[in-house]
Amino acid sequence: MKLLIPVLFIIIGISSFVSIGSTSKKDYAAITWKDTLMADREKYINMYKDSIRGKENRAADSVFKNIKVLKGKSAEQVLSIMNSWGHALGVTCKFCHDMNDFASEKPRHYLQTREMFDMTNQLNREILANLKTFRQPVVMGCISCHNEMKEPPHDGPKTQGNGARPRPRN
């Protein structure tokens, strides 16, 4: 009996430590992409999760119709990337997608995203990977520029006098 109490303490101690460790890991994934639009995005993610059940780990291009830049990812990873893009730009799925056909290339933001994805990879591989004065690897993602905005702030060209900055309309 004398021994039982300290042993129980140790067991409770270890198990609560383990559970704190695992929940904080889970929360981290939720927190990093949490914003006011998360619930709306989650609705569609869950809809897709149901439709790909059993195929989560298959190559994305064998599960979805129009995978180009995300070739090599699994179907499940694609959905998680979709959520991260939405979060990075502060938007829901419909900013980039025709909601009646997620494989459609008609929406301009869908195509722009492919270009942005290639640009970001190029930036990381060809420029940031070669920085010489940093002690740690410098890696940029969509969030680095967008910071939950559709359009990151620009440098020049400055305003046209009426306060408007000349740039292409979307």
Residues found near ligand HEC in the complex (CB under 6 A): 41, 44-45, 48, 64-70, 78, 82-83, 85-86, 89, 91, 93, 95-97, 102-103, 109-110, 112-114, 116-117, 120, 140, 142, 144-146, 150-152, 154, 167, 170
CB 121, min distance to ligand HEC, A: 8
Residue 7: CA count within 13 A, CB half-sphere = 4
Which tokens sit at 83? 């959520």
97 CB neighbour count, 10 Å cutoff: 19
User: Smaller CB distance to ligand HEC: residue 74 or 93?
Assistant: 93
CB 11, min distance to ligand HEC, A: 41
CB 107 within 8 A of CB 96: yes
In the chain, which ranges are E strands? Answer: none
User: Smaller CB distance to ligand HEC: residue 8 or 68?
Assistant: 68
Would you give the DSSP letter of residue 130?
A: G
